[in-house]
């Protein structure tokens, strides 16, 4: 029988491991080692479940719950987020516990009704509303657009624990469910990966919510998210990392993303990288069609510059580059500079279009010139690109 794991007195992790998950949010976020769907049980005068799990894992969650409470009823269920990886088991739960009172944000109730087409006696809550379960008082904090309109956090003052749903999540699938079992560097790196691929467009909302939580003077010594490990030892590092993520705090780093058939654009990319790398800039260079988009997203988060290159294919840029730029536009990046480049045969059209899309993404161009190459770059052409890379390095360091 699957067992619950106690995380604090009267509080238990009753989630599931999905070790076989390799694509999160469809194919948008490839992941390496699987993930978890975390549910939590509070055992008090009233028993409260915080979030359910994917529908297919419902029975596993229930095994863990019954390992703690047996056949005792559950009085409350908190729907912190209506996305199916957290609410998919809700209908089965309500069938098993028809007298349980469900709590959700106003937006959450609306989404649940639109997803599952069944009305329950939802208790609509907003920031500052509370639920007393006996010894414990649960305080709700709305977190809209981190990363859906309905997200919320549940705080238990008596235990100094915040159940944060998607906020502060990461993909670490392990039976060692606390951060200190994995080390600060790994945990923060996985949190960065998750933030870059799920939360990046909502940096302003994250910054505002971090400020609100500080202003509410919530005394927190544990954060229990909906994915990955539970934070208890590295909270200062986590909060600082989220502050940096939300403000797009950057280092002297450039990301080069390109596509190339006959290596002409690749040669340009490598020459630009050489010029920057020799002059103190960390350079990450990726052939777009051969690289997981999750890797590129993560590296973009704290880079000062992004350079994008493509050859001309029937007067258009490569499809992978077009898709990358469309996604970049949705990311709402701040305080970054960029540059388009590429090779062509008979129609020098693509580089201007890349630059236009970079500007549409809110990125300031590094250079007013159109950096294009007709067919194969000569040694002199490559030397000129390395010199341009050197100039870009100085501009990056001055940012």
Residue 91 covered by a domain: yes
Mark whether 180 is an active-site residue.
no
Whether residue 220 is found in the same domain as residue 306: no
Pairing, β 161-165 against β 152-156: antiparallel
**Residue 185 and residue 276 in one domain:** no
Tell me whether residue 243 is in a domain. no
64 and 31, same structural domain? yes
Number of domains in the chain: 2
Q: Which of 17, 86, 182, 227 is catalytic?
A: 227
DSSP letter string, 151-168: -EEEEEGGGTEEEEETTT
The domain that holds 308 is classified in CATH as 3.40.50.360
Catalytic residue of the set 54, 58, 75, 147 = 147
* Residues 125, 51 within the same domain: yes
Q: How would you class 114 by CB atoms within 10 Å of its CB: exposed for 0-12, middle for 13-18, buried for 19 or more?
A: exposed
Are 201 and 259 contained in the same domain?
no
Q: Does residue 237 belong to any structural domain of this protein?
A: no
Residues 347 and 267 in one domain: yes
* Prediction pTM value: 0.95
pLDDT at 165: 96
Active site residue 227: yes
Which listed residue (83, 150, 179, 193) is catalytic?
83
Domain end point (choices 200, 231, 262): 231
Domain termination residue (choose one: 231, 262, 287): 231
Asked whether residue 188 is assigned to any structural domain, the reply reads: yes
Query: Which residue is catalytic, options 18, 75, 85, 150?
Result: 85
Tell whether 190 and 324 lie within a shared domain. no
Minimal CA–CA distance to 31: which of 202, 175, 176, 169?
A: 169
- Find all residues with CB under 8 Å of 311, minimum gap 6, and list them: 259, 260, 261, 262, 264, 265, 317, 318, 342, 343, 344, 350
For the question of residue 264 being annotated catalytic, the response is: no
For 207, the 3-state DSSP assignment is helix
Please give the chain's pLDDT, 399 residues, in tens.
Answer: 899 999 999 999 999 999 998 878 767 788 888 999 999 999 999 999 999 999 999 999 999 999 999 999 999 999 999 999 999 999 999 999 999 999 999 999 999 999 999 999 999 999 999 999 999 999 999 999 998 999 999 999 999 999 999 999 999 999 999 999 999 999 999 999 999 999 999 999 999 999 999 999 999 999 999 999 999 999 999 999 999 999 999 999 999 999 999 999 999 999 999 999 999 999 999 999 999 989 999 999 999 999 999 999 999 999 999 999 999 999 999 999 999 999 999 999 999 999 999 999 999 999 888 999 999 999 999 999 999 999 999 999 999
Residue among 44, 54, 142, 166 flagged as catalytic: 166
Q: Identify whether 25 is a catalytic site residue.
A: yes
* N-term to C-term CA, the chain: 57
In a domain, 80, yes or no: yes
Same domain for 257 and 225: no
The reported pLDDT for the residue numbered 241 is 98
Domain identity same for 55 and 89: yes
Quote the domain boundaries for residue 319: 253-396
Asked whether residue 171 falls in the same domain as residue 286, the answer is no
Report yes or no on 238 lying in a domain: no
Does the annotation mark 259 as catalytic? no
User: Which of 231, 261, 287 is where one domain is finished?
Assistant: 231
Both 213 and 320 in one domain: the answer is: no
Of the candidates 17, 81, 86, 264, the residue annotated as catalytic is 81
What is each CA distance from 124 to 49, 78, 129, 150, 152, in whole angstroms? Answer: 16, 11, 9, 11, 12
CATH number at residue 92: 3.60.15.10
Q: Is residue 360 part of a domain?
A: yes
The 8-class DSSP code of residue 19 comes to T
Catalytic status, residue 147: yes
Q: Tell me: do 226 and 267 sit in the same domain.
A: no
Does residue 236 lie within any of the structural domains?
no
């Amino acid at each position: 029988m699957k067992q619950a794991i106690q995380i604090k007195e009267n509080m238990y992790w009753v989630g599931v491991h999905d070790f076989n998950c390799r694509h999160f949010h469809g194919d948008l976020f490839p992941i390496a080692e699987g993930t978890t769907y975390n549910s939590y049980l509070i055992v008090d005068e009233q028993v409260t479940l915080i979030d359910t799990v994917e529908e297919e894992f419902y029975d596993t969650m229930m095994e863990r719950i019954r390992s703690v409470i047996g056949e005792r009823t559950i009085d409350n269920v908190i729907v912190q987020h209506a996305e199916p990886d957290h609410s998919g088991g809700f209908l089965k739960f309500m069938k098993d516990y028809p007298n349980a009172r469900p709590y959700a944000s106003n937006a959450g109730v609306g989404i649940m009704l639109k997803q599952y087409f069944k009305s329950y006696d939802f208790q609509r809550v907003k920031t500052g509303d509370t639920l007393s379960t006996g010894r414990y008082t649960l305080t709700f904090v709305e977190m809209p657009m981190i990363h859906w309109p309905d997200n919320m956090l549940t705080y238990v003052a008596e235990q100094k624990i915040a159940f944060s749903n998607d906020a502060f999540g990461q993909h670490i699938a392990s039976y060692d469910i606390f951060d200190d079992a994995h080390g600060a560097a790994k945990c923060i790196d996985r949190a960065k990966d998750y933030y870059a691929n799920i939360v990046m467009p909502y940096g302003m909302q994250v910054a505002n919510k971090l400020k609100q939580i500080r202003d509410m003077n919530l005394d927190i010594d544990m954060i229990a998210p909906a994915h990955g490990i539970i934070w208890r030892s590295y909270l200062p590092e986590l909060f600082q990392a989220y502050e940096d993520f939300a403000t797009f705090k950057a280092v002297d780093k450039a990301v080069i993303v390109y596509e190339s058939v006959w290596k002409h654009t690749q040669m340009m990319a490598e020459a630009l990288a050489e010029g920057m790398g020799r002059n103190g800039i960390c350079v990450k260079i990726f052939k777009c069609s051969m690289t997981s988009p999750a890797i590129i997203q993560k590296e973009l988060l704290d880079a000062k510059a992004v350079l994008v290159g493509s050859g001309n294919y029937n007067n258009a840029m490569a499809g992978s580059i077009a898709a990358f730029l469309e996604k970049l536009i949705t990311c709402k990046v701040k305080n970054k500079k960029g540059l388009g480049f590429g090779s062509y045969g008979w129609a020098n059209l693509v580089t201007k279009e890349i630059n236009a899309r970079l500007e549409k993404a809110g990125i300031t161009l590094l250079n007013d010139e159109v950096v294009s190459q007709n067919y194969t770059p000569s040694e002199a052409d490559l030397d000129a690109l390395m010199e341009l890379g050197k100039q870009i390095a100085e501009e990056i360091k001055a940012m």
